[in-house]
Amino acid sequence: MPIVNFTNVYDDEQRARAYADLGFPGTYYLAFRDIPQLLRDHVTGNRALDFGCGAGRSTRFLKELGYHVIGVDVSESMLHEAAARDPDGQYFLLSDGFEALGERRFDLVLCAFPFDNIAAAERAGTFRKLAERLTPTGRIVNLVSSADIYVNEWLSFSTRKFPANRHARSGDIVRIVMLDGADQRPVEDIYWTDSDYAATFAAAGLQLIHVHRPLGNESDPFDWVSERTISPWVIHILACHFPLPTSHS
């Protein structure tokens, strides 16, 4: 049974190429700066699944940290770019659940931004499927855009052309322009509040054990705009709240 039925704005060759070359500039630096320490603090083992790996930026990031990692995504365009940049990597198109992964279990499931785009009705079920793939001590690290990112200006993003964002409710489409890449067409994300994330985790049988909201500081190699006082990102550390039945349909 497919677990994802949403439209991926990145399943576009032009956007995939631009995103593949992006790296970790500006505001994106803050998204990943603190993850190595969070992993040291909360993750035991080195088997990782990069859920929503896109063009493999986050997959390569985990490999550099010493993880044995598999990347999965719904975008063929993105996976093509991932494989081109990491020919020895393992990347799978996520179209029929997790069947391509067999019986593998993971110490870490990294979700670097896919839940910015997954439809509201799919969220709890998708998190539950990911939870079923964890080892007994495994953790999900869920990196998402904060609600604040859509109503402020940033080093790497602009929202000033989208005043409707200020009236968004969970499940609504919000728009943002990424300034660092060659493709500056607006990106459409799905707005989701902290309280709705909490409810989603509970519905999926997950326990929220830590929340991190990175802020810019003077030692960072960037001249921040809003990043020193408002966090553009939220990082959730999640564990299974109770044993889940195995179901890979």
Q: Does the residue 187 lie in any domain?
A: no
Structure tokens at 87: 């020919």
Q: Does the residue 163 lie in any domain?
A: no
pLDDT at 2: 35
**pTM for the whole structure:** 0.89
- Total number of domains in the chain: 1
Q: Does the residue 67 lie in any domain?
A: yes
Name 187's bridge partners.
176
Q: Does the residue 136 lie in any domain?
A: yes
Residue range of the domain that includes 66: 13-147+193-240
Give backbone dihedrals phi and psi of 183, rounded to 5 degrees, phi first: -100, 105
pLDDT at 233: 98
pLDDT at 5: 42
Q: Does the residue 1 lie in any domain?
A: no
pLDDT at 249: 38
> Residue 113 is part of a domain; what is its CATH number?
3.40.50.150
Residue listed under structure tokens 């802020």: 215
pLDDT at 211: 98
pLDDT at 235: 98
Blockwise average pLDDT, block size 10, the chain, 249 residues: 43 54 81 98 98 94 98 91 93 80 94 95 94 96 98 97 96 93 84 96 96 97 97 97 52
pLDDT at 4: 40
Q: Does the residue 127 lie in any domain?
A: yes
Q: Does the residue 170 lie in any domain?
A: no
80 Cβ partners below 8 Å, 6+ apart? Answer: 16
Q: Does the residue 47 lie in any domain?
A: yes
pLDDT at 185: 87
Strand order through the sheet with 157-158: 157-158, 173-178, 187-190
Cβ atoms of residues 75 and 94 within 8 Å: no
